[in-house]
Amino acid sequence: MTGATPLHAPLALAPAMADALARWLDGERSTRDRSGHTITAYRSDLLAFLSFMGGHHGEPALPARMGALTQSDMRAFAAAERARGLSARSLARRLSAVKSFLRWLSDREGFDASRALSQRSPRYRRSLPRPLAPDQARAVIDLAAASHPTAWVAARDEAVLTLLYGCGLRISEALALDGRDWPMGEALRVRGKGGKERQVPVLPVARAAIAAYLGAQPWGLGPDDPLFRGVRGKRLSAGAVEKAMVRLRHALGLPPTATPHALRHSFATHLLAAGGDLRTIQELLGHASLSTTQVYTAVDDAHLLAVFGAAHPRG
């Protein structure tokens, strides 16, 4: 088995397994409030796994047979995925989805999945966020306000990027805002990953930028209307913001790591450098685990070491 067949897995999947997979995905979507992107990734992960197991054992993967899976089977799947070029990080995510499905299936079918679940996920080095320097972040927002020939589009881009940097929002969170979220007070209730809500402070400069955009854009704003619109009046897409950021970083000579998400990284890093504590930053970012937020301490330490290395006298 080479790992190429997962592309054709929907045709080879046994009806009973297809039904089980659909039920599990429905449960993840409804009870855990997984995003559409996450559900799509889970489906791909499980189709790859079930297709591999079908070829590995020479018969379709069926729910009742999943109890016979061993650690050796899981190792074979992991080896095949790595041979296909899957990174350690992507494989770890794929195995996590597979194990969640097997736990659910074992409860439903009444078998012991402990042998398969004992397979360890590969270790990988978590990449550090690539924030912008404070002056770079300000330059991006200032240029956004003046770089587009259509005034209301320039005002929109400035408002969106100000929200990302000033409030630490994910791009999906900013673009999901509706008319009912305006006007904003000193805090904004944001619905993040997994449907978890959090309160984030809204700086006066962010409220002013949004007000300027709304005063310039050509549409009305009802409660169910998108707060940020594209040029045709529909909800602004993440792709449009990413294209704007590409244009801005080229104009400013910034690296490819200067993305919309880098502004969220910049928010966290600059807040930490200014004396913010990790627990507060965790809450503002909406991280489920403090370990996710702790990566910013490494960024800050790396910055300090770089400054030290550049300034220290060498005799």
Contacts of 225 (CB under 8 A, 6+ apart): 178, 179, 219
Q: Is 170 a residue of the active site?
A: yes
pTM of whole model > 0.85?
A: no
Active site residue 303: no
- Please tell me which residue in 130, 235, 261, 303 is annotated as part of the active site: 261
| pLDDT for residue 287 | 60
In the annotation, is 193 catalytic?
yes
Domain boundaries, the chain: 5-117, 134-311
Tokens of 202: 């809204």
Instruction: State pLDDT tens for residues 92-141.
Output: 889 999 999 999 999 999 998 888 888 776 665 555 568 888 899 999 99
Cis before 183 (ω within 30): yes
Return the SS3 of 175.
helix
Q: Which CATH architecture has domain 5-117?
A: Orthogonal Bundle (1.10)
Residue range 27-55, pLDDT digits in tens: 988 877 677 888 999 999 999 999 999 88
Superfamily of domain 134-311: Intergrase catalytic core (1.10.443.10)
* pLDDT above 70 for 286: no
In 3D space, the residue among 180, 155, 128 whose CA is nearest the CA of residue 295 turns out to be: 128
State the average pLDDT over residues 59-86.
89
Q: Catalytic site residue 296?
A: yes
**Catalytic one of 170, 207, 229, 270:** 170
Least confident stretch, 22-26, 40-44, 68-72, 194-198:
194-198
Is the pLDDT at 177 greater than 50? The verdict is yes
Instruction: Please choose, from the candidates 152, 175, 155, 141, the residue with its C-alpha nearest in 3D space to the C-alpha of residue 258.
Output: 141
pLDDT for the residue numbered 225: 97
Q: Comparing 5-117 with 134-311, is the CATH topology the same?
A: no
The predicted pLDDT at position 205 comes to 94
What are 140-149's pLDDT values in tens digits? 999 999 989 9
Q: What are phi and psi of 126, to 5 degrees?
A: -70, 125
What tokens appear for 201 in the block?
Answer: 């402070």
Catalytic residue among 42, 165, 213, 296: 296
Retrieve residue 238's tokens. 């993440």
